[in-house]
Structure 1
Amino acid sequence: MKKLYIEKPVYKISNPVNWPPPPIGFKFNVDGSARGKPGLTGIRGILWDMEGKVHCLFSFLVGSKDSNMTKILAIQKACQLCALNTVLLGSNITIVSDSKVVVSWVNNNDGVGSLKHVDIIYDFRCLRNMMRGLSIEYNSRATNSLAENLAKMGSNMEGDIVVWGD
């Protein structure tokens, strides 16, 4: 599968009513979606700051996965992208997902789900522990609607995309 990495200027988005900006630092809204059960799944995310400037967008096809796994993979990808960006390493970053169960698993509050999730959640926890200022939060679907819509579009795309702003 072809991977496409694009550098573009920072975009500015209008602030949707149900999409509050982060109080400090950055917010990475993420989601995963499937096209059918089983079906192709995609993950997407959008990183933005207090002023509504978009700093990163990503979209990846992740094969045929269950819904919990796609949400775990979306959180993991956001964390990986933040870890690779030296500007973000010392920043406060909140990764937001609309899955209360998955957020509980990755925050080590309630097990790790089924055995098929163990390895990826363990890897994610190790990565998260290396990054200061990173937190994972649950927000309802209404407040994560942009990432949800992006994820649905991602499951219909071909190829992987990462777009970084300045």
Structure 2
Amino acid sequence: MGGVLRDSCRKVVCLFSCFIGSQDSNMAEIMAIWKACDIISSDPFFLVRNIIIASDLKVAVAWVNNDDFGSINHVNWIYDIRCKLKILGNTSVVYNSRTSNSFVDMLARRGSSLKEDIICRSNY
């Protein structure tokens, strides 16, 4: 799994790539959104910025931003994401088409061969 965090000016503020084992695409995307929220909530650098988490899976964005949970396997993950987003207040999850997410796809493929997580934060 991989992700790119951007601020409200669309500047890249963080990249991450993580190994998650074998997961279906819905679960992998939910885990990526969760990981992004976890990174944001654990670093004071992000707490003073408006951060955008973009996903290329419309249904995952809908689950995170609305009342539905998808399958029963997703309930705890999505509930935790919603709680983190509520606490953060400055973070949103939006849909981006797959064509604009090619860099994230590369990070996700990279993560499938990793033994440890890679997280790179910008210092601007």
Same fold (TM over 0.5): yes
Are 1:131 and 2:88 an aligned pair? yes
Distance (whole Å) between structure 2 residues aligned to residue 51 and residue 136 of structure 1: 13
Q: Take 2:37 and 2:5, find their aligned partners in 1: how far apart are those partners? A: 11
Distance across 2 between alignment mates of 1:161 and 1:151: 11
**Counterpart position of 2:74:** 117
Q: Identify the match of residue 152 of structure 1 among 95, 109, 112.
A: 109
Runs of 4+ in 1 over 3 A off after TM superposition: 48-52
What secondary structure, in the 3-state scheme, does the structure 1 residue paired with 2:30 have? helix
The aligned residue for residue 84 of structure 1 is 42
TM-score, structure 2 normalization: 0.88
Take 2:5 and 2:92, find their aligned partners in 1: how far apart are those partners? 14
Answering whether residue 19 of structure 2 is matched by residue 61 of structure 1, we say yes
Higher Cα radius of gyration: 1
* CA distance, structure 2, for counterparts of residue 94 and residue 161 of structure 1: 19
SS of the aligned residue for 1:62 comes to coil
- Shift, 1:51, TM fit: 7.2
1:63-89 superposed Cα distances (whole Å, 9 cap, x missing partner): 222110100010111111111121211
Residue by residue over 1:81-119, the C-alpha shift from the partner in whole angstroms, topping out at 9 and shown as x without a partner, is 11112121132111000000110001115x111101001
1:86-101 alignment, distance < 5 Å = 86-101=44-59
> Bigger relative contact order, structure 1 or 2, given CA contacts below 8 A and separation 6+?
2
Greater fraction strand: 1
Q: Percent identity?
A: 45
Query: What secondary structure sits across from 2:45 in the alignment?
Result: coil
- Structure ranking higher in helix proportion: 2
Secondary structure of 2:47's counterpart equals: coil
Gaps of 5+ in 2: none
Contact conserved, 1:89 with 1:132, CA < 8 A, in 2? no
CA drift at 1:164:
2.3
Measured after TM superposition, the shift of residue 139 of structure 1 is: 1.0
1:165, 1:90 → 2: CA distance? 14
Using the alignment, how far apart are the partners of 1:64 and 1:101 within structure 2? Answer: 20
RMSD: 1.6
Letter paired with 1:103: V
